[in-house]
Structure 1
Amino acid sequence: MRKIVSGLLVGAIVSSATVVSAAPPITLVMNGQGGKPDASSQIINGRAFVPVRAVAEDLGAAVKWDAAQRTVYVFTGEQKEDVSLEKSKNESSASPLRLVINGKEAKSEVPPQMINGRAWVPARELAEGLGSGVHWNASQRSIWITNKIVNPSAKDFNGQAMITFSYDDGLDTFYDFALPLHEKYGVPATTNIIAGRIKDGARTMYLDADQMKDMYDRGVEIGSHSYSHEKGLTTLSDEDLDFELRESKAVLEQIVPKVQTIGIPFSMYDERVKTAVKKYYQAARNFEHLQNDIPPADKLWMHSAIAVTNEMTFDQIKLRIDEAVKNKQWCIIMLHGIDPDNRDLYEIKPALLEKVLAYVASLGRDKILPVNTIDGVSLAVK
């Protein structure tokens, strides 16, 4: 998705013909971390440039310099022999540098530059060539490049709006299609798992334990969605209700260290269920088509602002996000399957999810802070 919105401006922040020094400095933020001495940004001919080695290696890629061909090679996979980026004595300073990423030349209106013995390349071409996200935060004059989920800390929340992407059922399409997009844009996520349907070698549509462990290690919150999800919790006896809540948590915590939140199945919820939920979980999400105040009025009865279906458009989802930004509220978006075929009502195509994630990233974390459910609760009450 090149040039998602004009506000990205990573490709055209200013229009001067040389490196700009009079304007306020541009901060480069890699996976939520800024201020690294070997990673910075410069504006060259109106384009944001970054030092190729520092940025590429932060994104898990290797770099090789071919002086004879004046070409910077960037590649993922097995590390190759490291080659210095220092100028060769035989190198012609007249011919432009080339950037080749995983065997494909990255074309840019402004070619790579050699500055003080280091190769600098356009930020957008490098990031997108490696499958990473890149966006411009105008208010903070920072370029964000991400290829992993960035869960916030307390210092990141300053009373702005928040947003949570909350996935129900524990479908394996999350692992295949949604997780890579959340990493690309650095946006946290919560997946609420039906503990009794975890894949155990059978061919089912649900996640298996190894996938869940990997997701957790990559920054995804694992929440509960009851043990069986066969009946609404309000229809159960006290004994069966306690089993659904207790056993789900117990099963999931044999896979990941902590399960602290729950998405209420079928959104069937009342005070009796809430009392039972409180014994095992710190927060509960229900669907009521409402935004949450910050802090929420009741962290054990939080609302989803929208339940996304394959009949919805980007503009409908954007409307709820913009509403949260305007009112500084917490927008929880409820999703299920992410599948190119989107055959079920509650399955959407990856392209729609990417458009939503890209929009959230483009707004900047100072306007709307992406959080998982438990982090949102923790930050909001401080």
Structure 2
Amino acid sequence: MRKIAAGLLVGAIVSSAAVASAASPITLVVNGHVSKPNVPLPIIQGRAFVPVRAVAEDLGASVKWDDVQRTVYVFTGEQKEDVSFARSKTTPPSSALRLAVNGKEIKSEVPPRLIDGKAWVPVRALAEALGSGVQWHASQKTVWITNKIVNPSAKDFHGQAMITFSYDDGLDTFYDFALPLHEKYGIPATDNVIAGKIKDGARTMYLDADQIKEMNHRGVEIGSHSYSHEAGLTTLSDEQLDFELRESKAALEQIVPQVQTIGIPFSLYDKRVEAAVKKYYKAARNFEHLQNDVPLKDKLWLHTAIAVTNETTFDQIKQRIDQAVKNKQWCIIMLHGIDPDNRDLYEIKPALLEKVLAYVASLGREKILPVNTIDGVSIAGK
């Protein structure tokens, strides 16, 4: 399990060794929903503790308590017949409380403990063992745990900056490498798919229909990137242009319920194309290395703040994010492939993507709200 950068983890940030007081309670948010334990979350030796059962079940896991082993077992999927640790006959039972996730003991600097008869553990230890992301937002005194994308609603917008991760082409590396990271940090995404290149059993680099349908079910907005992506839209005749826009939407809506936005191929865009796009889509994203002011001036001409390539550094991306935060703008980041081999100019390594997502998560949704394209338009267009 890769670790979130220093400064993001609850255990590394919270310094108080005392139990959190009623005057400044800690809020626990699991996959975008406020969790309400019966008692306030305590801080014990600098670590935020959570009740095992409540959090594990919120994350889709099950819990079993073994009083003899003094172990709380957490498991995903079907429970195995024997989830107990192997123990030597000469080894006496331990008096310390232990945590096991899917049969593996999880160690932490501050061990689990019983509080009022219930097992409590450090939030980081439990959440990361279940493959979830953890963020601590000090200004809000909030712990965020995520293992799925959290798409916001209009009530989450209070005039802060916004950010969108907009992927082009519909490459299968998004499914393999980007989707798990977006779920880990709970951050929305838009994938603009070339409808005419959807994989149909052939060995290609594109997504197949089942992957697209599953991605949408898991919270990813599916957008259009034209039907063929063979030429810039400004170079096409009126008939060809209408085909590229109409048929892309029609083909994708055979897979997902709605396709409402488009990423413009090759960023070739003019007023004629805009008028044609308006017949089928509610928003169009172009690349002009600009931020979007809120409220929007033109929903059908959204700007991209930065196009990320394998030559782009984290600091360059961070600079654009920080600019949006400072000016309370909407920052759209354009990406393509996510691949550990990093072979193509428009492919970046998962490590860079994770560093960016972790940074956005560390800022907190009160400072910059992650949105997909259509949600951003709904919010910023008002």
Query: Partner residue of 1:87?
Result: none
8 Å contact 2:304–2:332 — kept in the other structure? yes
The 1:228–1:39 alpha-carbon spacing in structure 2 relative to 1, beyond 3 Å, is farther
Query: Partner residue of 2:196?
Result: 196
Gaps of 5+ in 2: 84-91
Query: Partner residue of 2:88?
Result: none
Query: Partner residue of 2:44?
Result: 44
Counterparts of 1:374 and 1:50 in 2: how far apart (Å)? 35
* Partner secondary structure for residue 222 of structure 1: strand
TM-score (norm 1): 0.94
One-letter code aligned to 2:102? N
8 Å contact 2:70–2:94 — kept in the other structure? no
Q: Deviations over 1:323-366 (max 9, x none)?
A: 10011000000000011111000001111111111110110000
Counterparts of 1:82 and 1:295 in 2: how far apart (Å)? 58
Q: Deviations over 1:127-176 (max 9, x none)?
A: 11111000011121100000000000111001100000000000011011
Deviation at 1:57, TM superposition (A): 1.4
Deviation at 1:102, TM superposition (A): 2.3
Deviation at 1:8, TM superposition (A): 3.7
Query: Partner residue of 1:377?
Result: 377
The residue correspondences of 1:345-356 to structure 2 (distance < 5 A) are 345-356=345-356
Counterparts of 1:39 and 1:264 in 2: how far apart (Å)? 51
Deviation at 1:296, TM superposition (A): 2.0
Is 1:238 the counterpart of 2:218 in the alignment?
Answer: no
Query: Partner residue of 1:368?
Result: 368
Instruction: Give me the CA root mean square deviation.
Output: 1.9
Query: Partner residue of 1:144?
Result: 144
The residue correspondences of 1:39-118 to structure 2 (distance < 5 A) are 41-79=41-79, 95-118=95-118
One-letter code aligned to 1:199? K
Q: Deviations over 1:56-79 (max 9, x none)?
A: 111122222222121122222214
Counterparts of 2:346 and 2:178 in 1: how far apart (Å)? 14
Is 1:341 the counterpart of 2:341 in the alignment?
Answer: yes
* Partner secondary structure for residue 120 of structure 2: strand
* Partner secondary structure for residue 345 of structure 2: coil
8 Å contact 2:171–2:336 — kept in the other structure? yes
Query: Partner residue of 2:135?
Result: 135
8 Å contact 1:223–1:261 — kept in the other structure? yes
Which moved further from structure 2: 306-315 or 369-378?
A: 306-315
One-letter code aligned to 1:15? S
Which moved further from structure 2: 62-71 or 355-364?
A: 62-71
Query: Partner residue of 1:9?
Result: 10
Deviation at 1:19, TM superposition (A): 2.2
What percent of counterpart residues are identical?
79
Counterparts of 1:94 and 1:115 in 2: how far apart (Å)? 18
Query: Partner residue of 2:303?
Result: 303
Deviation at 1:93, TM superposition (A): 12
Deviation at 1:369, TM superposition (A): 0.2
Gaps of 5+ in 1: 84-91
TM-score (norm 2): 0.94
